[in-house]
Amino acid sequence: MNKVEKFLRGRFASALVAVIIGFAVAAVVLVAAGYDPIASFGALLSGAFGKPKYISNVFIKATPILLTGISVAFAFKTGLFNIGAEGQYILGTVLATVVGCSLNLPMPLQVPIVLLSGMVGGALLGAFVGWLKAKFGIHEVITSIMCNWITFYLCNFVVMSDAFHKPNSTSAVPVNPSSYTILFGMWKKSEAGKQFLAGIPWLREILLKTDLSAGFLIAVVVAVIISIVLKRTKLGYELRAVGLNRDAARFSGIAVERNIVLSMLISGAISGLAGALSITGTSPHTITLLAAMEGYGFNGMSVAFIAGCAPLGCIPASILFASLIYGGMSVQQAMGVPSDIINIMIGTIVFFTALPGIAPFFANKIQRRREAKELASSQGIERA
């Protein structure tokens, strides 16, 4: 086996091939629609990485989808399809907002409580779906979708309710500033901070022009923890065994139903955390009236699939997708290309990650060609 073949049989290659095909399909669509694909991709790139603040924004965008990505990946590793990350995310934002604007404790207390309430929201919703599956055998995909829409309307209900509606707006009351997880939030606006930052323009741009928060760091920590749980703990072992062969797990005395609920609970909590961090980390620090699904859960699924459902793999995958989504907005501004092209691209990428044989398919071709060559040469030797 030569190096190219070995690479093509690896997991990274499948992701790479899918991404390349995603760009290729997008290019075809762009050409068909009369746009210049090279210029569009150029605009995409500079829109994502052209300035320090763009890069900062990419990381801000990556935070929720990294977490929902880990959430989906974790569930998938345990044999469950958490298409409900979207709803769990929304419920996370709702509960974080409700708690964050009702309570006003000192920051070291307030932040954990607000984040925790978001996690509890997502966890309960996830556990409910898990329970429906464990107890009644209802496929989690359908119930998750239903729950997504229920939380969607619940969010709008809370936004419009007398208790939380912010008058003359389409949003709820923002959470108290003690809930913010923005990095150096107080210091960067102080005189000392301003003076210090004046000397370092790129840092000044990042800190003052974007909501850079602790979110991404927290998400990375979550990725590491979940990776360890899956690979090195008894819990992770049981969850994987249940996911890979439910019957054998049951036969071996593993409590299958409990593990299904537990898995969805953990998965939901991670998505809920994503929602809570969006509230505490980015303005307007509250929930607004939703017109359509925001897509954090669905983009999380893309992140998870391209990462082969490895929690650590979600980190680069989330940065990739965040840069596509964030950079895509500049493509619309600069080139007039509808930003939906990005969704087409992401959908294509996920579609091709679903095809298990796509990279190995090329590997097989190379192998066959090599074998044919070897055969030909060996026959040549025999004849000689």
Partner 1 sequence: MDNFILLLGITLMYSTPLVFGALGGVISERSGVTNIGIEGMMVIGAIAGAAGSYFTGNPWLGFLAAGVCGALVALLHAVASVSFAADQTISGVAINMLAPGLALFMCRQLFEGAAMTPIATKLPKILGEDGLAGTPFANLNVNVTTVIALLFTVIMWFVLYKTKWGLRVRAVGEHPAAADTLGINVYRVRYICVLVSGMLAGLGGASMTIAIISQFTQTAISGHGFIAMAAVIFGKWKPFGAYGACLLFGFTQALVILLGGGEFVIPSQILSMLPYVMTIIVLVIFVGRSVAPKADGIPYVKGSR
Partner 2 sequence: MEVSPEFAVQMHGIVKKFGAYTALDHVDLDVRKQTVHAILGENGAGKTTLMNILYGLYQADEGSVYMDGKEVSITSPTEAIAHGIGMVHQHFMLVENFTVTENIILGDEVCGAAGVLDMRKARKEVMELVEEYGFDVDPDAVIQDITVGMQQRVEILKALYRGAEVLILDEPTAVLTPQEIEKLIEIMHDLIAKGKSIIIITHKLKEIMQSADECSIIRRGVYMGTVDVKNSSETELASKMVGRNVNLTVEKTPAHPADVTLSIRGLTVKDERGIEQVRDLNLDVRSGEIVGIAGIDGNGQQELVDAICSLAKATSGAILMNGQEIQNTNPRNVLNHSVAVIPSDRHRWGLVLPMMVEENTVLERHGEDMFGKGIMLDYEKLHEFTSKLIESYDIRPAGCEEERMSGLSGGNQQKAIIARQVSYVPDLLIAFQPTRGLDVGAIESVHKTLIAERDRGAAILLISFELDEVMDVSDTIAVIYHGQIVGTFAQGTVDENQLGLLMAGGEAK
Per CB under 8 A, residues contacting partner 2 are 232-238, 240-241, 244-245, 247-255
Question: Which region, judged by CB under 8 A, interacts with partner 1, from 54-62, 113-121, 139-147, 195-203?
Answer: 139-147
Write phi, then psi, for 288 (nearest 5 degrees).
-120, 165
**Residue in 311, 299, 301 with CA at minimum distance from that of residue 220:** 311
- Does residue 142 bind partner 1 (CB under 8 A)? yes
Q: Is 124 in the site for partner 1 (CB under 8 A)?
A: no
Residues 162-191 that bind partner 1 (CB under 8 A): none
Residue 348 binding result from partner 2, partner 1, none, given CB thresholds of 5 to 8 Å by partner type: partner 1
> What is the 8-class DSSP label of residue 308?
T
Q: Which is nearer to partner 1, 137 or 253 (CB)?
A: 137
Residue 341 as a binder of partner 1 (CB under 8 A): the answer is yes
Q: If contact means CB under 5 to 8 A according to the sort of partner, which of partner 2, partner 1, none does residue 358 touch? A: partner 1
Task: Residue 86: name the closest of 275, 263, 216, 354 by CA.
Answer: 275
Helix (H, G, I), strand (E, B) or coil at 179: helix
List Cβ<8 Å contacts ≥24 apart for 112-118: 114/175, 114/179, 114/276, 114/279, 114/280, 115/181, 115/273, 115/276, 115/277, 115/280, 117/276, 118/91, 118/92, 118/93, 118/272, 118/273, 118/275, 118/276, 118/277, 118/279
CA distances from 29 to 128, 299, 320, 340, 341 (A): 41, 21, 20, 11, 8
Q: What track of x and - describes contact with partner 1 for positions 65 through 104 (by CB under 8 A)?
A: ----------------x-x---------------------
Q: Interface residues for partner 1 in 287-316 (CB under 8 A)?
A: 291-292, 298, 301-302, 305
Residues near 89 by beta carbon (within 8 Å), at least 6 away in sequence? 64, 68, 122, 271, 272, 274, 275, 278, 294, 296, 297, 300
46 by Cβ neighbours in 10 Å (0-12 / 13-18 / 19+) ranks as middle
Identify residue 244 by its one-letter amino acid code.
Answer: L
Does residue 147 interact with partner 1 by CB under 8 A? yes
# residues contacting partner 1 (CB under 8 A): 47
Least separation in angstroms between residue 255's CB and partner 1 is 20
Cβ-based nearer residue to partner 2, 7 or 237: 237
Cα 228 to Cα 225: distance, rounded to the nearest angstrom: 5
Asked whether the bond before 284 is cis by omega within 30 degrees of 0, the reply is yes
Q: Which does 251 bind (CB under 5 to 8 A by kind): partner 1, partner 2, none?
A: partner 2
Residue 209 or 246 having the CB closest to partner 2 = 246
Count CB atoms within 10 A of the CB of residue 262: 20
Distance of CA 82 to the CA centre of its chain: 12
Which window, 60-68, 134-142, 209-217, 374-382, contacts partner 1 (CB under 8 A)?
134-142
Cβ-based nearer residue to partner 1, 83 or 91: 83
- Residue 161 is classified by DSSP as S
Q: How far apart are CA 313 and CA 11, in angstroms?
A: 10
**Considering the rule CB under 8 A, would residue 29 count as an interface residue with partner 1?**
yes
Residue 141 touching partner 1 (CB under 8 A): yes
Tell me: does residue 112 bind partner 1 (CB under 8 A): no
CB of 245 to partner 1, least distance (A): 15
Among 106, 253, 356, 380, binds partner 1 (CB under 8 A): 356
Q: Which does 376 bind (CB under 5 to 8 A by kind): partner 1, partner 2, none?
A: none
Nearer residue to partner 2 within complex by CB, 163 or 354: 354
Residue 234 binding result from partner 1, partner 2, none, given CB thresholds of 5 to 8 Å by partner type: partner 2
Helix (H, G, I), strand (E, B) or coil at 165: strand
Q: Which residues bind partner 1 (CB under 8 A)?
A: 29, 33, 81, 83, 132, 136-139, 141-143, 145-150, 153-154, 156-157, 160-161, 291-292, 298, 301-302, 305, 338, 340-344, 346-348, 350-351, 353-358
